[in-house]
Every structure is written in structure tokens, then in C-alpha cells.
Structure 1
């Protein structure tokens, strides 16, 4: 699978607005994912609390977990942000001041906010808590960015619809931090402000209840009224197995047959790994990865790749080379076909998924390295998915550690030989071909 499908023509000038290292901002759906994201190179993570966020189905964090996450992040010089980005109804606003104070007391560095009322409340009730404007505000022009800067916000998360050319103009006019999504799922609705979920399932997308209705399968129908050329008789309709299946009588004709692929409104995922220099040169201050609902394997893999690409370019911009293995690694974690979103052009029919989604990630997170004995070459691995002797696995870790090997004899911690590592979180031992480190990951093909 290729990360991009189009040849892009650079419309912006390409000059280096401000060559300083951007922040790499990763998603963390729970405390374990937070630790993996930071260990694999994130400068900051964004999480959700028990209220006021747009991912109510994520594990989300209690205040106690937030404090633990903040303490872990501090050890690595990282920050923790909290998404507080719902569009609030009247009943949502009770207790918001207390909630924001608790975030501040837990050590949270910033909140990501869409609703102007919550912006204003945070600024008044907890002036020490930094407020970042959420992408849900659909900010895509420099004058809107200037407005929010004048309202006291130090950072604006741009709408996903913003182009490179527009980012360049924003940075030329406004001295403010710009955060942009550079990897992950895209929304078919403008900046995620969707109401399909509300109508279909009574779950409010803008209050954290999105049911992913754009990913559902849909049929297409044509009216079969008497004046239409496609009109058919009731007798013909009753004898047609397709019409019988859909129980449509003579009023509508399905345009798909059983052999056709169902229609979906789902878009391809965003991936900018091939264009990290452009993002840095244009002045994006924070590279945001989408995916608080994604797996640990996804978060660690994607963060690890972007960390290497950013560091490589900043170390020697003039001699930077995109490594093929970075693209290969991204594809091992990708859930859908990938493209570059709105950065270079407006997505068209090639950027949506009409056929059954290509499940591109053929790998499972199989084990986590807990210990390594350099004298014996023996690793202690915590099982995360079933694996057994004779199976090929891959080890990878922060900074580009990577190798493949075949699993040999496996022992449990008591020294008993095993025919497989069957039990979740079971610790097993086996020899590895190269040195590994704590928190390195082992994956296997599905």
C-alpha cells in the first residue's frame, strides 16, 4: 500500500519560515498508551477526562490517572494536554469550573477547547491553565487565527481543511503557535462537526458520542414513480429477488446488486510522513497524530517513525533523505489507505473509500520486552497476543531498533518449556538474536 496516490505540485513558496523543531503530539486513550507514546518519542500527549471530551468511548482518565500520567511525562520532559472540546449544551456547563481547576491541580499543561464559553470559563476560573483552540472551531484563515490570539490563546489547532499555502499565509501574518493534524483518520464532515450520528443513533458527535456513521455501508436507490422511465409493475417487482429482499415494492429501485460493493462516505486516512520537511519549513509548531481510540501498537509505531523523521531533518536539513523503512513501518500500523488530506489539494473521489476497506495492518502486538540478559541473550517478554516456537516475529523500539527472528524454545518463569505463550500478560523467556531493551515491542503477522 502506498501512502500517497497523487503527484503534488507545491503551491506555496517552500521557503523556511522558521526552522525550529516542532512538537510531536501523540494521542493517549489510557494511561498505558500515554506511557508508550512518550517512551517512543512524543514531546506531548493529549488525553480525555471523564467529561467534556469528544471520545466518550475511549477509556479516558480519572484525575488520579492524570496525576500519574503527568508525573511519568515529567521524567521525559513531556507535557500532557486534555481535550475539553465538546460543544456544550446548557446542561453540560454545570461543574465546568471545578473540573478545570481539578485539571490544573493535576498538573495538566493545557486544555484543548472548542466552545467559546469553555474558553472564557477556563481563562477566568483557572488563569494558569493554558488554553488551545480545538480543530472543531474550523479555523482555516489568518484573520480567524488573529482573533483567537487577541482572545489570549497561545495556540490554534487548525481545521483539517487547511492547505500548506494557507498555513504559510497564517504564519506570515500571525505570531502564534500552530498545531496541525499530520496523521490519522479524517472526517467526512467539515472539521468533524457532524450530525449524522445524532439522527441515526441519537448519539451526539459534538458531545463525544460519534457512532462512525460515515463508515457504515449504504445502498443507493432510485424512485420508481409511474412517470419515470424505470417504472415497473407490481407484478414485476414481486418477481424480482432483489426487490423482494429489500421489501421496496414499486416505490424504489436499489442501484446496487448483491455482487456490488456497498457505498460508504468514509475518507482515506491522513499521512504526511513523506512531507515532514514541508511541514517544518512552513512553520507548523506541533505535529498532531490522531487516534485516542487506536491500539498501543499503532501509537508506538507511528510516533516512533515521525520522531525519527523529525530528528533526521532537523539534524541536517540539506541532506535529509526519506527512508523507505519509515513508510514500511507506517503501513504496518495503517488501518486504511492513506493520502495527504487537504495539504496540497482538495480531496476528490480518489480520496474516499468506496470498496471494502483494505485492512492494511497485517500485524498484531505480540509481546513487550520486560528484561534482557546480555550474557545469555535471553529476553523476558510479557505476552500480549498468542505466539509460539517456529513463528517469525519482529522486534522494534524507540529510535529505529528493528530486527526479525524466528521464535525458538519458550520457557515460563519457573523454567518449564512451553508449546506456546497462551495467556495474556504471561511472562515468558526465550533467546533473541540481537540485544533488546525494556519497552521494546514484539509483533507478529496476523
Structure 2
């Protein structure tokens, strides 16, 4: 719920979430039925739409009480379902004929005829496969009357739009039913069967190599082109990410779309719109594995992989969430010390930079160090102007920070 609140705070027009069943992120902090109802109410009060993922690839054993589940989802008031499996799609159309359906990227729509097929089945929106380039997206948009959605940011699987069996074979955990163990992020080395225990690096590296470890998708700089094509929605992957990641990424993409809209109103042709450097500088503070544009221009090369580590050093992390603005009360998420330089993530792209000059508990006891979970009254220099509830504060960490 906290991630949902943060995404909405920073400008998401819609959010998507998973329930306890039938979702491809079984390991995420998913919602109970009551939690979904609360989330729908929260989103709708703020004029934000909410979609529920029902995107596993089902076996018959998974469908025994499925229609009851669908009816319960309808009663939450959600705006639609995100589905990948044709059988689940059919059951949804029969059980909830008025419920909008969005086709998941796992359905692997890679051509205009496939898009036309799903449109004829009743899909309101299609989230295209991640293996498409700009010109392919353009062709599908020209040939299709169905809304199109494109993933623009987040983790990438070494698979066909997320349909991977590596986890199932190596760990017995089925990624297509929500239980991926993420073996693509493991470090691998080569073993010859007659030399057990003798490891031969796949590359010349004593630590082995992360041969399946893709950099994260980032199409921030290509947003003007996607707008020009006529894509109806862009999507950010973040259900297994932190609250700080979700808020920071949504904030940058919201600012980018608003910038593009402003340029259009001023008469700038879309093909001439280029996001200024501060957008790139801000997104660079967020990434966990580096960045790739994946198939957007051409098939990705070896440069799209991160071979020597599971992730890059994430220098910036959230230190607090604003819970009250007068006085400034924050809930601490990482160690915050008196004298730390911190950044307040407001609505503008540029964060407000200030110093934590004093901290006290809610009872007025002074503190020089606040730990995760503490609630503190924070004094900054300069003082923050009109800090908003649910806004994020962050700071730059180094590897030695404890």
C-alpha cells in the first residue's frame, strides 16, 4: 500500500497491483481482498485508476474456484484486470462481460495481426511485448484500434517478455505462476563433469560471471518518440522494488511527460523535443543495474548485460517519508545523522537540497542519529517550503555507511 500511495503522490495516472492469488509476483507484498478495496478507494478518491493482475499461466488445478475470485475482484470496484492466459481471458469475458481487460506483456504481442486478434476478443488495451523496436510499435499502432501500452522502465528478464522456465528447472519455482527465484541474477561458472569442484570462469574473472543479468530497461529519452507514435500508456515495473525506487522513477517520468506536453503547447514539433540533461542526471541516481534501451533501436548487444556484479552500487537511498508538515515529522527509512546533506523530492524535477541540522523525537528528546523505523521531528537548513505528506527524502550513501 505504501508503494501505491507513493506512486500516486508522484503523479501516476493509474496503478496496478496483485492479489494473493493468480499474480506473477507471488513474492511481492501483495494485497488481501480487504487491502484491494482500500487501495481502490484511495486511488479513486484521487482520480487515479487501479488495475489488478490476474496474469499467471494457469493449469486446470488453478481454476477450481477461479470464477468466485473474479466476482470478488469485480466487487472491489477496480477499473480492470491485466491478463495473459487465453483461458483466464475467456473465463473473465464469460463471468464479467463488462469488466475491462488489459492484455499483459506476457501474452507476447509482437505483430499487428496478434494485436487485431486480441482486440476482437475484447481486450481494451494491449501491453506490447518488450522485444519490439520503435518502428514495429509504430506499425502495430497504425494497424490496431486497441489501446497500446509500452513498458518503459524496470527490470528485464532474459526470456520472451517474461515467460521464462529457468527458475522452474533450477529451483522448482515456476516463474509463470508467480514464484520466480530470479536465477538470471545468479553468478555462474563452468564445471567439467570429471573435475567436480573445479570452476572455470565463463569470462576471465575469478568471481564467475552473471551471464543472464540484463541491465534495467530505461526509455526515458525516447518518450517524445513514443508520444509521436501515439502510444496510449507507458508502464513502469516496480512491484518488487522499494518505495524509494517507485517514487523516484514515477516522479521523473511524470516530469518528462509534463515537459513534453508543455513543449507541444509551445508549438515545438515532437521530433525536435529532447529532454534536457537534468532528466538523465536524475534517473541516473535511481538505477540498480545500469540502463539499456533493449530492442528499441535494434536487438540488444552484449553491452546490455551486467556481467561482473548482480547490481551496481545504488548511491542514493530514501532516508525518510514525510508524515506531517508542521512541524516536519518524518518516518525514517535509512540511517539519518545530524549534519547529513539530504534531498527533498518535490514535484519539480530538481530536488530541494538541505542539511539536517537538528532532530528530536515526537516527545522532544534530541537525537544525533535516527534509525530505520524512528519517527522524528526534523529541522533543516534551509527550511523546506511546504513539504508534502508522503513525499520522500533521500541522501547519498557510500559503501561504508552503516
Q: For 2:282, what is the secondary structure of its paired residue?
A: helix
Mapped partners of 1:381, 1:110: distance in 2: 35
TM-score scaled by length of structure 1: 0.83
Mapped partners of 1:75, 1:408: distance in 2: 37
Mapped partners of 1:408, 1:42: distance in 2: 33
Q: Verify the 8 A CA contact 2:318 2:392 in the aligned structure 1.
A: yes
Residue of structure 2 in register with 1:439 after alignment: 390
Q: For 2:318, what is the secondary structure of its paired residue?
A: strand
Mapped partners of 1:210, 1:408: distance in 2: 44
* Pairing 1:413–2:383 present: no
Residue of structure 1 in register with 2:157 after alignment: 187
* Pairing 1:325–2:278 present: yes
Residue of structure 1 in register with 2:3 after alignment: 33
Q: For 1:127, what is the secondary structure of its paired residue?
A: coil
Residue of structure 1 in register with 2:83 after alignment: 113
| CA distance 1:326–1:214, change in 2 (3 Å) | same
What per-residue deviation string (whole Å, max 9, x for no partner) do you get for residues 282-309 of structure 1? 1111101012010010000000010011
Q: Verify the 8 A CA contact 1:397 1:439 in the aligned structure 2.
A: no
Aligned counterpart for 1:162 among listed residues 132, 135, 147: 132
Q: For 2:2, what is the secondary structure of its paired residue?
A: helix
Q: Verify the 8 A CA contact 1:421 1:428 in the aligned structure 2.
A: no
Shift of residue 316, structure 1, vs aligned partner: 2.0
Structure 2 counterparts to residues 202-217 of structure 1, below 5 A = 202-217=172-187
Q: Where in structure 1 are there 5+ consecutive unaligned residues?
A: 1-30, 225-242
Mapped partners of 2:44, 2:200: distance in 1: 61
Residue of structure 2 in register with 1:370 after alignment: 323
Aligned counterpart for 1:296 among listed residues 243, 265, 271: 243
Q: Where in structure 2 are there 5+ consecutive unaligned residues?
A: 398-402
| CA distance 1:152–1:423, change in 2 (3 Å) | closer
Structure 2 counterparts to residues 13-412 of structure 1, below 5 A = 31-221=1-191, 246-247=196-197, 259=206, 261-317=208-264, 318-319=267-268, 320-373=273-326, 378-400=327-349, 402-412=351-361
Mapped partners of 2:372, 2:221: distance in 1: 39
Mapped partners of 2:313, 2:277: distance in 1: 17
Q: For 1:101, what is the secondary structure of its paired residue?
A: helix
Residue of structure 2 in register with 1:4 after alignment: none
TM-score scaled by length of structure 2: 0.92
Q: For 1:407, what is the secondary structure of its paired residue?
A: strand
Shift of residue 78, structure 1, vs aligned partner: 0.6
Q: Verify the 8 A CA contact 2:356 2:378 in the aligned structure 1.
A: no
Higher RCO (Cα < 8 Å, 6 or more apart): 1
Mapped partners of 1:260, 1:336: distance in 2: 18
Q: Kindly tell me the number of residue pairs found equivalent between the two proteins.
A: 389
Q: For 2:50, what is the secondary structure of its paired residue?
A: strand
Mapped partners of 1:423, 1:169: distance in 2: 49
Mapped partners of 1:260, 1:99: distance in 2: 46
Shift of residue 32, structure 1, vs aligned partner: 1.1
CA RMSD of aligned residues (A): 1.9
Q: For 2:394, what is the secondary structure of its paired residue?
A: strand
